[in-house]
Structure 1
C-alpha cells in the first residue's frame, strides 16, 4: 500500500505517524487500483482532504480534479465551527503542513490557536430573566489535560484555508457546478476516472436518498467575553455543554473558544441544537426563536455578548 510521505519533523511527524498508523489499521483490503485519475465534485473539508491525499500519490499526480464554485467566506456562521483536535492532525497530514501552519491559516492569526483541552457539561435551568446551571461535570478529558479536544474555527475559513494549501499540489481546480456524472467524467485527466460526489446532492451520480425522519434545528453566533472575562460555569480553554430539558427533548448547547479573522473581536462561539421528528408538525420559526433566546440568555449569564448579531447569527 502506498504510504503518505512527509518531510515534517518533531511533534508534527509524531502526529503524521499516528495518522499513518490509523490508516494502516483501518485498511483491511489490499488489491490493484482500478482507477488512473479522480474527479471530485465539491470543495468541502472531505473533498479537499481526499484530493490532496490522492494528488500526493505518484499514480494520481496531475490527475486529480476538483470541480466546484470557489468557497464563499462570510461572517455568518452557516456551517459547523468545531474542528476536533484529531481532525486537525488528519488535515495537516494530508496537506503536508505543520500543525501551527494549519492553525495560522485557518484562524487568521499567528497567536495561539483557539483551543479547548477539555469539555464539561451541566443542566441549564431558566430562572426568570436569567439562567442557572447545575453542578458542572467532566465530559471529556480531565482538568489537567493537554491534548487538544476541539478548535473553534469558522467552517468557511477552514475550507478556504484548506483550498489555499491544496493549491500547492498538482490538482486542477475547475470553477463550475456539476450537474451530472457525464459532466464530471468529461473533466477527467485520465481514462478510468474515479468519480466522487462530495456535494449535498445525493442524486448527482445516480444515487437515491430518503426523506429524513428526524431533523436537527440549530442557532449559532460568535461571542465577545466581557472585561472581567467569562463567568461560571464557563472556563478558559474549556468547551462547555449546557443541556436544557424542554417539552420532553434536550436542547444541547455548546460553547468553545473561537477565532475568526472576519470577526476579530470574537473570542467565544455558542450554539444550541435540537433534534425533532420531521412529521411532528413543529413550528420551525417558533422553535428557532426559542433556541435563540436560550443561546443568548445562557451566554449573558456566563459573561458573553454576541458579536454583530445581525451579521453573524445563523439559524437552520
Structure 2
C-alpha cells in the first residue's frame, strides 16, 4: 500500500533510497496530524526502530470543532502510506465501519447575499464531481470527508502506537527537555507546533505577521436539506459573501462524528484580514458566525448544539515562498507544511500528511528534509496563493464571475481533482 499511495501527481513523492541517516533518533513535540504521520513512518524504518519519541499532551476529544475538519480523500493515502496499511483501515479507525455519511461525491457553489440577517443563494451549480476522471483514475472515488480534527488525531495516534511510536506524557517542551528524552546520540528535534521551541537557538527570526485568517465553524443537523433543494446528500457546498470589500468564503461538508451523532454536516466561514490587528478579531468572527448560520439555514441545515460544537479562529498568514526551519537543530514541520494562508483551501490535513511523508523519506535517506518538504508542497501553496488573491485582492471580480457561471469561475480549483488533490490516487 505504501508504494501505491505515493503514485500521485500532487506531491510527486518517491520512496527513499536506503542511505545512512544523519540522525539516529527523533523527538517530536506534538501529537498533531503532521507530527504523528511523520512519527509513524519513521518508527517503521529499521534505522529509527524504537527511537521515535512523541512528547505532548494526549489527545482530548471534545465535540468542539477546533482546527480543520475538511479531510480531502487524498489525505487518507498519506496516512495509510505512513503506517503501511489500507485506506479502509484508516477510515474504519476514524469513523467505524460506516463512513459513507461523511463522504462528498459532488461539490456545489454559489454566491450568497445577506438580506435582513438571512442568506439568499443566487445560483447553485456543481463545480467538481467524481465523474469524468482521467483514464488512469477510478470513476466515482470520494472527493473528501468531514471529520472532527480531534477524532482524526486520536485515530492516527492509535495507529502510531501500533507501529512502534513511543509516547512521553511528562510535559517536556523546551529544547533541553526534548533532547533529554532521546535515546540516541544525534537526535533531531521536530517542532510540530506553530510556536518556536523554547531554548533553541535561532537561525533566523521571522517578521511578525501582518495578515490573518478569521474563521467561525460549527456542526449542523440537516432537517430541511431536501426541502431547501440547494444541495443533495453527499454534496458539499462553497458559498461566498462580498462583505466590506473582501470575500467571506464558506464550505459545508458531509460530516460524521460519534460524539455528535445527529450532526450530518459541518460548516465554516472564513476571511483573509489584511493588515489585521487584535482589535479587529472579535468583529470579524462575530460576522462570520452569523453568516455560517444564515447560509446553513439556506441549505436546510440547523446548528447542532452550537454552544458545544462551535469554535472561532484567528491564525496568521505566512509567505508562500520557500520556508526554512527557524531554529538550529529543529525541523519546523508545522510551519513548513502550513506556509501560506491557513484554512482557505481546506487542504491543511492533506498538506500535513504530505509534508510529513516528504520529511520522513528525506530523513531516512540522510538528506535535508526542508527542501524535500518545500518541493512536495509547491502545488498546494500555488493554489492557496491564487485563492487568497481571489478573496482579498479581487473580490468584485470573484463575486461577478461566481454569480453568473460558478463552474467557470472555479475552473482552476476544479482542475485540481485531476492532479490528485482531492480524490486519492485510485
- Classify the TM-score, shorter chain: 0.7 to 0.9
SS in 1 for 2:162: coil
**Contact 1:203/1:209, CA 8 A, preserved across alignment:** no
Alignment correspondent of 2:401:
none
Map 1:88-107 onto structure 2 (within 5 A). 88-107=76-95
Distance in 2 (CA, whole Å) between partners of 1:28 and 1:261 is 35
From the superposition, tell whether residues 155 and 228 of structure 1 become closer, same or farther in structure 2 (CA, over 3 Å): closer
Alignment correspondent of 2:48:
60
Q: 1:199 offset after TM fit, Å?
A: 1.7
- Comparing 294-303 and 274-283, the one that deviates more: 274-283
Alignment correspondent of 2:207:
210
From the superposition, tell whether residues 231 and 168 of structure 1 become closer, same or farther in structure 2 (CA, over 3 Å): same
Distance in 2 (CA, whole Å) between partners of 1:33 and 1:21 is 24
Q: Does 1:308 align with 2:324?
A: no
**Contact 1:221/1:313, CA 8 A, preserved across alignment:** yes
Map 1:103-252 onto structure 2 (within 5 A). 103-108=91-96, 110-112=98-100, 114-141=102-129, 146-204=140-198, 205-207=200-202, 208-226=205-223, 229=226, 231-252=228-249
Q: 1:29 offset after TM fit, Å?
A: 8.8
Alignment correspondent of 1:19:
5
Q: TM-score, normalised by structure 1?
A: 0.87
Distance in 1 (CA, whole Å) between partners of 2:88 and 2:308 is 29
Deviation readout 1:213-267 (Å, 9 max, x if unpaired)? 1111100000000066463322221211001001110000000000111101101
**Contact 1:107/1:113, CA 8 A, preserved across alignment:** no
Alignment correspondent of 2:392:
none
1:287 pairs with one of 277, 284, 288? 284
Q: Does 1:265 align with 2:283?
A: no
How many residue pairs end up in the alignment? 302
From the superposition, tell whether residues 285 and 98 of structure 1 become closer, same or farther in structure 2 (CA, over 3 Å): same
**What runs of 5+ residues in structure 2 fail to find an aligned partner?**
133-138, 314-426
SS in 2 for 1:161: helix
2:61 pairs with one of 73, 89, 95? 73
Structure with bigger helix share is 2
From the superposition, tell whether residues 22 and 55 of structure 1 become closer, same or farther in structure 2 (CA, over 3 Å): farther
- Comparing 199-208 and 48-57, the one that deviates more: 199-208
Alignment correspondent of 1:10:
none
Alignment correspondent of 1:5:
none
Distance in 1 (CA, whole Å) between partners of 2:91 and 2:79 is 10
From the superposition, tell whether residues 308 and 131 of structure 1 become closer, same or farther in structure 2 (CA, over 3 Å): same
**Contact 2:214/2:285, CA 8 A, preserved across alignment:** yes
From the superposition, tell whether residues 39 and 229 of structure 1 become closer, same or farther in structure 2 (CA, over 3 Å): same
SS in 2 for 1:212: coil
**Contact 2:221/2:265, CA 8 A, preserved across alignment:** yes
**Contact 2:225/2:301, CA 8 A, preserved across alignment:** no
Pairwise CA RMSD: 2.4
Alignment correspondent of 2:338:
none
Distance in 2 (CA, whole Å) between partners of 1:149 and 1:202 is 34
**What runs of 5+ residues in structure 1 fail to find an aligned partner?**
1-12
